Amino acid sequence: MSGSVLYDVPGPRAVVRNRIIGAITILLVLVFVGWVLWRFYETGQLSPEKWELFSYTAIWMLFLEATWNTLAAFGVAAVGAIVLGFVLALGRMSDHAWLRVPVGWIVEILRAIPVLVFMMLLYYGLPVVGIKMSPYWAVVIALIAYNGSVLAEVIRAGVESLPRGQSEAGFAIGLRKSGVMRLVLLPQAVRAMLPVIVSQLVVTLKDTALGFIITYPELLYVVKLLGSQALYNSPLIPSAIIGGSIYVALCLALSYVAYLLEKRTRRSPKVQTDLGDGGEPTTATEAIAAGRGLGKYDASGL
């Protein structure tokens, strides 16, 4: 069938209309970009005086150090958020109310507190009670707490969206709930929720910029520092352009790594069995059943 079940194929007049709308949209975007560049030129933001500061090697080393600080906070926060997300998600899906209810409250509270408020409480609030924390750990802990609680809901939603027959098939072959969760449900849920998880990690990377409020020397802190140098005509716009370009490059690199990971996880593993089916690819539950010698089960439901 050449048509789609979701919408009708546009006819000749609709195709012409869509092309005209697309051309007008592109033209408007180009006009807007040209207007912005013209305003930069008129206000002297593209003048050599504004960019003179960036001709020094020490300035680029400062950007390099700030980028490293950003990645250092993001790396630890990303790993911690993923670990915390899995722990909280498992707690939220527990059969025991004494565990499920408190964990649910913890997740809701952590999600409700803004990241910046969390950072300020850790950095400025804890010294009031005699606990001093460095800006680095205030940024990392705040990012772990917030993004971990968000990832917990993402993982829980991914597990609960799977067909009920998946878990029933796992129980039928003798697995306990921990085995069903670890071998059957979580791998499928993570694969399905991978784009959302990666999107949240990108948010984590960008939220490191909030650390400049508590004097953590990351990219935004350096951009603000260089942009306020009156000796070099306060090059705030050039500093923001360079800092923003670095953020874009980091986010694109993270998205590309996530794309490669998603592409690899989508490949269906071929599990060889002795069930007389010619070694055809099997589902995770079928592979477990074959390993236990219990025959072939339909993972979508018994």
Angle between helices 219-227 and 57-92 (to 10 degrees): 140
Say whether both 76 and 178 belong to one domain.
Answer: yes
Residue 102 pLDDT > 50, yes or no? yes
**Mean pLDDT confidence for 88-108:** 87
Q: Is the pLDDT assigned to residue 193 strictly greater than 70?
A: yes
What is the Cα–Cα distance from 238 to 224, expressed in whole angstroms? 11
71: in domain: yes
Average pLDDT over residues 153-177: 76
Q: Which residues contact 95 (CB under 8 A, 6 or more apart)?
A: 177
Q: H-type helices in 161-185, by residue range?
A: 164-172, 177-179
Q: How confident is the model at residue 168 (pLDDT cuts 50, 70, 90)?
A: low
10-53: pLDDT as tens digits: 788 888 888 999 999 999 999 999 999 898 888 888 888 888 88
Diameter of the chain measured on Cα atoms? 80
183/202 same-domain check: yes
Residue 294 has pLDDT above 60, yes or no: no
92/227 same-domain check = yes
Give the residue-averaged pLDDT of 128-132.
Answer: 88
| Cα–Cα nearest to 289, from 192, 157, 172, 193 | 172
Alpha carbon distances (Å) from 66 to 236, 247, 256, 280: 16, 11, 22, 52
Q: Report pLDDT digits (tens) over 226-279.
A: 888 877 778 888 899 999 999 999 989 988 887 887 777 666 554 444 444 444
The answer to whether residue 124 is domain-embedded is: yes
pLDDT score recorded for residue 67: 94
Give a yes or no: residue 284 inside a domain.
no
Domain check: are 34 and 59 in the same one? no
What's the per-residue H, E or C state across 249-292? Answer: HHHHHHHHHHHHHHHHHCCCCCCCCCCCCCCCCCCHHHHHHHHH
Q: What is the mean pLDDT of residues 152-178?
A: 76
Instruction: Tell me which H or E stretch contains 221.
Output: helix 219-227
Compute the radius of gyration of the chain from its Cα atoms. 26
- pLDDT at position 301 is 41
Angle, CA 264 vertex, CA 261 and CA 266 arms, to 5°:
110
As a whole number of angstroms, the distance between CA 275 and CA 115 comes to 53
Closest among 132, 265, 140 to 198, alpha carbons compared: 265
Residues 153 and 171 in one domain: yes
The CATH number of residue 72's host domain is: 1.10.3720.10
Same domain, 8 and 157: no
Share of the chain above pLDDT 90, in %: 37
Q: 123: closest CA among 138, 142, 113?
A: 138
Q: Which domain holds residue 7?
A: 1-42
> Could you tell me if 35 and 104 lie in one domain?
no
Check pLDDT > 80 for residue 297.
no
Task: Calculate the average pLDDT of the chain.
Answer: 81
pTM for the full predicted model: 0.76
Is residue 274 in a domain? no
Q: Is residue 280 part of a domain?
A: no
Same domain for 257 and 169, yes or no, is yes
To the nearest 10 degrees (0 to 180), the angle between helices 57-92 and 135-160 is: 40
Instruction: Tell me: do 87 and 226 sit in the same domain.
Output: yes
Residue whose token pair is 């025991």: 96
Instruction: Please check whether residue 139 lies inside any domain of the structure.
Output: yes
Instruction: Identify the weakest region by mean pLDDT among 71-85, 93-107, 130-144, 275-289.
Output: 275-289
List Cβ<8 Å contacts ≥24 apart for 206-209. 206/247, 206/251, 207/115, 207/143, 207/146, 207/147, 208/70, 208/73, 208/74, 208/77, 208/139, 208/143, 209/70, 209/247
Highest mean pLDDT out of 43-52, 115-124, 178-187: 115-124
Q: Which tokens belong to 169?
A: 């098939």
Domain assignment present for 123: yes
Residues 259 and 227 in one domain: yes
Is position 273 within any domain?
A: no
Where does the pLDDT of residue 286 fall: very low under 50, low under 70, confident under 90, or very high at 90 and above?
Answer: low
pLDDT value, residue 180: 75
Count of structural domains within the chain: 2
Give the HSE-up count for residue 226: Cα atoms under 13 Å, Cβ half-sphere.
29
Least confident of 207-216, 220-229, 261-270, 286-295: 286-295
Domain co-membership, 22 together with 75: no
Q: CA 192, CA 156: separation in Å to the nearest integer?
A: 12
pLDDT score recorded for residue 179? 74
As given in the structure block, the two tokens for residue 42 are 């008129």
Same domain flag for 201 and 256: yes
